[in-house]
A = this chain, B = another copy of it.
């Protein structure tokens, strides 16, 4: 007999947790769709050469080989995708003539990485990505929309979120205005990105070793500690670099559009993100109640999505939510502690074979009114049937004795019981959902 066990890094949920996961995925999807984004689902599998066009370093890829084939016969041509950005780029280039731009798409799928599993690092996990891709130029409208969408998702999930925004042009322009050039800018930013982790002293020392003057170091650190638009203007006052001014104007537009988000949004010149990819707005979101979780989603604006596949300039902006990490953390910290393991809202009791017709008809009418319902599967003692409903946390049981005139409805949590017409119960229920 084979012992069935979990495979490290491949999370699976119990029924109640899975119900919660579905609720989270549905909420994300709903908000994406309410903003006019269309679902995309790409195959889980890409050509290895496609995956290797971007960011493959450090990301272990799972290649496929048919088990029945001789080792090496499949030449490892196909592999599982490790993110949803490379598949998007390939899909847009491949279907370019059939897509209508700006192409607004969301993509909620699993991705796979052959990394060593650890706390919060999985080999198979859900990402929920949203991107808009345009031709040649992309309106700044979308940079604001991305942050608004994230704010709405977490509001609907009932979780406080802090969304930090920055603009890559501000960083690059500022560093250039200080006299830094080319590779120097990139290495300096890479150091400043470690600020929260290692503290200002370590960063200052390393920047000094990279050849920055004390004055330059001081101003770089000052920039990284700026929060809010006012601080932005103060710290950059007198610097006339064109890219810096452009970045400030973009940041200001986005912040103004999102002013209604209040505390949820923070201009934060300390966030840096992936250096070789983003070119304008950058985002990162954290949960104030769960600081140790780190960033729950991130993203930004990029110049050109698919330059490896097509000779068109396709700028975009997007954000990715790490759903599995979020769920696993909140489950483990008790932030979410779901207990209902069934979608059923009503169990129709089956006291005896003679009630089967009535019970079936009651369940049919409940389902027609969009209420998940099941008939207990065999005539048996009432307490056995109630125990079943209790175990699955089914909120109501209905007894069919008085059918068709009336039904007896019992709420299991309170023990409260009423006798009334089924349609009357359904109508009252609509007004006060269970």
Q: Which residues in A have some Cβ–Cβ distance to B below 8 Å? A: 1-7, 10-15, 18-19, 21-22, 33-50, 53, 60-69, 71-72, 76, 78-80, 90-91, 93-95, 98-100, 102, 104-105, 110, 112, 114, 123-124, 139, 141-142, 257, 306, 308-311, 341-344, 360, 367, 370-375, 377-378, 388, 391-392, 394
Contacts and interface: CB of A to CB of B under 8 A. Distances in A.
Contacts of A39: 15, 18-19, 22
Contacts of A392: 100
B36 A18 contact: no
Counted per complex, copies of this chain come to 2
A68 B114 contact: yes
Contact of A42 (B2, B12, B94, B375): B12
Given A12-B41, A12-B42, A68-B60, A36 B80 contact: no
A66 B117 CA distance: 14
A254 to B, nearest CB: 13
A65 B68 contact: no
Contacts of A65: 62-63, 65, 76
Contacts of A43: 7, 10-12, 124
A347 B72 CA distance: 53
A198 to B, nearest CB: 29
Nearest to A376: B141
B377 A38 contact: no
B372 A35 contact: yes
Contact of A4 (B38, B79, B94, B344): B94
Contacts of A10: 43, 45
B67 A38 contact: no
Contact of A13 (B5, B37, B41, B62): B41
Contacts of A112: 44-45
Given A36-B344, A367-B34, A2 B67 contact: no
A114 B142 CA distance: 41
B67 A139 contact: no
6 smallest beta-carbon distances between A and B, as pairs: A36-B374, A36-B344, A10-B43, A66-B114, A139-B377, A4-B94
B102 A37 contact: no
A68 B367 CA distance: 52
Contacts of A110: 44
B44 A7 contact: no
A71 B68 contact: no
A347 B373 CA distance: 38
10 contacts: A2-B309, A4-B306, A11-B43, A12-B42, A15-B38, A18-B40, A35-B367, A63-B66, A71-B72, A100-B391
